[in-house]
Amino acid sequence: MADDKPDEQTPTPENATILQAFEWYIPDDHTHWKRLARDVQKYSDMGITALWIPPPCKASSPSGNGYDIYDLWDLGEFDQKGSVPTKWGSKDDLLELSTAADDCNVLLYADAVLNHKAAADKTEKCLVVEVDPDDRTKTISEPYEIEGWLGFDFPGRGDKYSAMKWHWEHFSGTDYNAANEKTAIYKIQGEFKSWAQSVDTEKGNFDYLMFADIDHAHPEVKKDINEWGVWLAKLLSLRGMRFDAVKHFSEDYLREFLDYLKANVNEDFFFVGEFWKDSLADMTAYLDRMQGSKFSLFDAPLVYNFSEASRTESYDLRKIFDGSLVQVRPVAAVTLVMNHDTQPHQALEAPIEGFFKPLAYALIMLREEGYPCVFWGDLEGISGEFKEEPSCGGQLPDIILARKLYAYGKQDDYFDFSTCLGWVRHGTWDKPAGMAVVISNAGPGEKRMFVGEEHKDEVWTDVLGWQEGEVKIGGDGFATFTCPGVSMAIWVKDDAPGRDQFGGFKAGVGYGKDE
């Protein structure tokens, strides 16, 4: 039954959904900001409320995705590292995207890469010790001098926006000695120099990840990054940030950075970290340490559950949320099916068979718990050498739309059979339609479920059109809902508001070059 009508001044807010608005192999044609600006209205109409955009800062090359970050302050404005624009486009294009998103009431979350810097402008001599790659707390050499790529002068930008130049003392480690062309993990020596202690303890101390590792204890580093964060947030009207590789850099500094942003930009800023580890205990401990920061993490364990479920015959779907972050900390869980790191042929690849993608998206999009994030590669397809068509038979937009229109109110679960799950959303006073979902990873699924006596004699159909026929709700509010084998169905009243919108969004049209 829909919730009793409360104060009409507090309408039910629209469900929030993030789109990760990129994938690893998007062409390096420098037009992606234009692409997103062109399509942001479409995404808003579909039910996307926030875009997570890729790192907007200058990378080590015109093809770099931004995780090989060179200059925080260059958003595609200066002739550096082979081009003026970034892979994604120019600064002007980015500003136009910001305006377009704001016009469509779509929030922007930027990807912040704060762990390291790449493609230094010159080498600098510094004192180091080598450490054991498998235990960075163990020193395996006497101190000696190397020539590291640690000098950043930003000749194309000069002093615009920031006069800071980066030198060896601003870093805690590197991995290459230009003097003898030797690769190792070098811990930089000097007064007050150390690996950050508030990092993950994998490999003894996981401060060092790649390139020139930033020393966030250095006061000049803190000042520059803090000021950059406020500048970027205000310039792009950001409402949140995604932090890359948070288990590799100082939690103490990150809390300081979050506080600085909230104090100088927006108290309600949204923060999510990539703490990619299949360990619920480590993730919850991290969240505990980020106390009071309103911090979220991507639900990595759930992604691995999806991968296992898709590759295990007759997997027990009742266990799909076991060990996941969304099960124990739903308010702090950003749920997802795939991202740029887990997509095919990437470092953290977590294969999910195509048949299971719709079921996985139903489990994150159509339920109460978690803040779901849709992957661009599933919505628009994957480009390049490993090209893939959009997932879910091109109907992922319809699953997103079903969340926008009907996934509200009290949730009743029917998790009573290992290969077939069902649940009902009962709607709210101002969004009363409700919905019934059935998923199966084996043969055809069937669930007798209660949707409410107020729906008696209504005719419900599957908005996806995958399950043919119709269901008439009984006088007792019950009906038997079905889905095809190894598939799903989303049942809603056949004339519910918005039913005419399904099938109206074309997936896979996001790659065309915007001239």
Cα dihedral 63, 298, 488, 25, rounded to 10, equals 10
Rg over CA atoms, the chain: 25
Residue by residue, DSSP assigns 274-286 as: ----S-HHHHHHH
Q: Per-residue pLDDT averaged across 197-219, rounded?
A: 96
d(CA 166, CA 163): 10
pLDDT of 497 > 50? The answer is: yes
Under DSSP, is residue 46 helix (H, G, I), strand (E, B) or coil? helix
Assess whether pLDDT exceeds 70 at residue 382: yes
Number of C-alpha atoms within 13 angstroms, CB side, residue 175? 15
Token couple for 172: 């805690």
Angstrom CA distances, 106 to 35, 53, 97, 495, stand at 15, 12, 11, 28
Q: How far apart are CA 151 and CA 166, in angstroms?
A: 6
Confirm if 127 and 189 have CB atoms less than 8 A apart. Answer: yes
Query: What pLDDT, in 10s, does the model give residues 363-376?
Result: 999 999 999 999 99
Pairing of strands 240-243, 270-273: parallel
Query: What gap in Å lies between CA 473 and CA 477, rounded to an integer?
Result: 6
CA distance 351 to 354: 9
Copy the structure tokens of residue 157: 């930008």
Q: Is 244 a catalytic residue?
A: yes
pLDDT value, residue 8:
57
Contact by Cβ (8 Å): 112, 55: yes
pLDDT tier, 188 (very low <50, low <70, confident <90, very high otherwise) = very high
Alpha helices in 155-279, H assignment, sequence order:
219-236, 251-264
Residues comprising the chain, all counted: 515
Sign of the torsion angle spanned by Cα atoms 192, 197, 201, 206: negative
292 pLDDT higher than 80: no
- Check residues 214 and 10 and name the one with the higher pLDDT: 214
Chain mean pLDDT for the chain: 95
Return the structure tokens found at 471. Answer: 């269901």
- Which CA distances in Å does 116 have to 53, 78, 138? 19, 21, 22
Label residue 291 by pLDDT band (50, 70, 90).
confident
Q: Which amino acid is at 2?
A: A
**pLDDT for 11-65, tens place per residue?**
999 999 999 999 999 999 999 999 999 999 999 999 999 999 999 999 999 999 9
Beta bridge partners, 334, equal 298, 371
Residues with Cβ within 8 Å of 201's Cβ and at least 6 positions away in sequence, in order, are: none
- Residue 430, pLDDT > 70, answer yes
Tell me which residue has tokens 């709700």: 473
pLDDT beyond 90 at 485: yes
pLDDT score recorded for residue 257: 97
Q: How far is residue 446's CA from residue 452's CA, in Å, rounded to a whole number?
A: 18
What is the phi/psi pair of residue 412, to 5°?
A: -115, 125
- Quick: pLDDT tens for 50-105: 999 999 999 999 999 999 999 999 999 999 999 999 999 999 999 999 999 999 99
* Cβ atoms 434, 452 nearer than 8 A: yes
- Which pLDDT belongs to residue 347? 86
Q: Which of 244, 341, 369, 462 is catalytic?
A: 244
Structure letter (DSSP) for residue 458: -
**Among 23, 274, 299, 369, the one annotated catalytic:** 274
DSSP state letters, 42-76: HHHHHT--EEEEPP-SEESSTT--SSSEEETT-SS
Nearest CA-CA partner of 229 in 197, 273, 259, 274: 259
- What are 319-356's pLDDT values in tens digits? 999 999 999 999 999 999 999 999 988 889 999 999 99
CB-based contact 439:488 (threshold 8 Å): yes
C-alpha 338/C-alpha 258 separation (Å) is: 26
Structure letter (DSSP) for residue 341: T
Going by C-alpha positions, the residue among 114, 115, 90, 111 that lies closest to residue 37 is 90
pLDDT at position 1: 47
Domains and CATH numbers, the chain: 117-214 (2.40.30.140), 411-501 (2.60.40.1180)
Query: Could you tell me the pLDDT band of residue 510, with boundaries at 50, 70 and 90?
Result: low
- What is the pLDDT at residue 513? 44
Q: What is the pLDDT of residues 109-161, one digit of tens each?
A: 999 999 999 999 999 999 999 999 999 999 999 999 999 999 999 999 999 99
Distance of alpha carbon 151 from alpha carbon 121, whole angstroms:
6
Write down the pLDDT at residue 506: 82
d(CA 301, CA 276): 9
